[in-house]
Amino acid sequence: MASAVSCRRITGDTNIHEYEGAAAGAANAVQPGDLVRLDSAGEVILAATSHIFGIVLKAGSATDSTLLPVDVLRPGDEFSIPCNTTTTEAHKGATCDVTFTTGAQVATLGGSTDLYCVDLDSCDALGKDGGRLICRVLAASCVPR
């Protein structure tokens, strides 16, 4: 079960820049806390496997383009993301994939392309269904497009 905000920065200096939101298509609808990337025109859209650029801080519509603040992630930056299942110690040190759903992104243990789980988020109790993980974007996935 996803939290109200999918992702939030834990470590690293904020690196906020504004980018235009793309104007057409479902992938262009984003919610605060969603992982996003840039499309070929340099506009913000929902992130995809192996393409994570940052965390959007403002909602974007699928029908109009507006400037969206994005906290751009750098290798080593850590952020909290909900887990798709009950959190366990086995998550620590594991790789995870992300389910990229607008407003409800979650990490799935056992993936190999998106995230590295550093720790369990201390804001949640161990064993919480839908608890949060502290993750880093895998270097190969930390790309704008």
The full DSSP string for 73-119 is: --TT-EEEEEBSSB--GGGTT-EEEEE--TT--EEEET-SSSEEEEE
Q: For residues 43 and 21, give the distance between their C-alpha atoms in angstroms, rounded to a whole number.
A: 5
Task: List CB contacts of 7: < 8 A, sequence separation 6 or more.
Answer: 33, 34, 35, 55, 79, 80, 81, 105
DSSP state letter for 22: P
Give which of 58, 79, 76, 77 is closest to 68, Cα–Cα: 58
Determine the pLDDT at residue 26.
59
pLDDT digits (tens, 9 = 90+) for 2-24: 445 789 999 999 999 999 988 76
Greatest mean pLDDT among 24-28, 98-102, 139-143 lies in 98-102
Mean pLDDT score of the chain, rounded to an integer? 87
Q: How confident is the model at residue 133 (pLDDT cuts 50, 70, 90)?
A: very high
